[in-house]
């Protein structure tokens, strides 16, 4: 089985969010896909199978299969459009969260995702205690989004991951306005054994609509302030969000399975 390691949401390796990608004729057994993801020990390993003109796409963390992953979708599209089917300029995926299209536009790969609904919830004492900074607002969809006072508060955050895992949401994110970009964020996923995710496409389907509404603009440029860091270019179109980013190929390997 051929496997590609791709750094997503970056133009150079050792930055962005790494994902493993396996494009196969048929999906291996679920336990094998999970074992491969666990061996890779990356936040996600993607498996894609071509069916007609599109691909079925599944994502695995080291602990479980998940229903939506942006950076591994970008990484898979990058592999297909630059390594396997170079004559194509777009690819469509069929996933547990519906159909996604990815279009190559120069060095960027534009993904079209469903937007999460912004459901405002009360800020709790638990949120304040876990984050260790003032939480101005909170929103819940699949993920929990907490709005902080400043970019510095986001960057300096040192959460208690055990307590963070007890908050609502599959993933917990913090965000604030940023001087150079429209917003800055950090994203944590201790519930699925990922303390901090380097760059998260799926959660920006919640972050980008929030800032689009707050700033009164469709185009949002977002910085994720993890140690590796990354930049996402988002366009909010009602119930859809276009999330674009670059990618860089780090490695190609043959798996002995």
Tell me which residues are annotated as active site. 44
Cβ atoms of residues 222 and 231 within 8 Å:
yes
Q: Given the structure tokens 């120069």, which residue do they identify? A: 106
Cβ atoms of residues 47 and 220 within 8 Å:
no
* Angle subtended at Cα 108 by Cα 84 and Cα 52, rounded to the nearest 5 degrees: 35
Beta-bridge partners for 105: 108
- Quote the CA–CA distance of 178 and 222 in Å, as a whole number: 9
Question: Roughly how many angstroms between the first and final C-alpha of the chain, as a whole number?
Answer: 7
Cβ atoms of residues 62 and 17 within 8 Å:
no
Q: How many helices (H) and strands (E) does the chain have?
A: 6, 18
Quickly list DSSP for 186-213.
EEEEGGGTEEEES--TTTHHHHHHHHHH
| Count of other CB atoms within 10 angstroms of residue 198 | 24
């Amino acid at each position: 089985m051929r496997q590609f390691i791709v750094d997503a949401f970056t133009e150079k390796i050792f930055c962005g969010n790494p994902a493993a990608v396996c494009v196969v004729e048929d999906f291996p057994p679920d336990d094998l896909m999970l074992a491969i993801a666990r061996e890779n020990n990356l936040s996600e390993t993607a498996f894609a199978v071509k069916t007609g003109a599109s691909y079925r796409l599944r994502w695995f963390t080291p602990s479980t299969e998940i229903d939506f992953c942006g950076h591994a979708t970008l990484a898979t599209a990058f592999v297909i459009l630059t390594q396997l089917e170079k004559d194509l300029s777009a690819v469509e995926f069929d996933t547990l969260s519906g159909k996604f299209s990815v279009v190559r536009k120069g060095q960027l790969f534009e993904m079209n995702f469903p937007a999460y609904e912004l459901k405002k919830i009360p800020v709790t004492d638990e949120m304040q205690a876990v984050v260790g900074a003032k939480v101005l607002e909170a929103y819940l969809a699949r993920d929990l989004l907490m709005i902080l006072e400043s970019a510095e508060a986001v960057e300096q955050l040192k959460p208690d991951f055990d307590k963070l895992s007890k908050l609502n949401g599959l993933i917990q994110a913090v965000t604030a306005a940023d001087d150079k970009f429209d917003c800055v964020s950090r994203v944590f996923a201790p519930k699925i054994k990922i303390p901090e995710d380097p760059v998260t496409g799926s959660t920006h389907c919640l972050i980008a609509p929030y800032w689009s509404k707050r700033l009164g603009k469709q185009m949002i440029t977002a910085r994720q302030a993890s140690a590796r860091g990354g930049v996402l270019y988002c366009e909010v179109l009602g119930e859809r969000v276009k999330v674009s980013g670059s990618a860089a190929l780090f490695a190609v390997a043959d798996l002995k399975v």
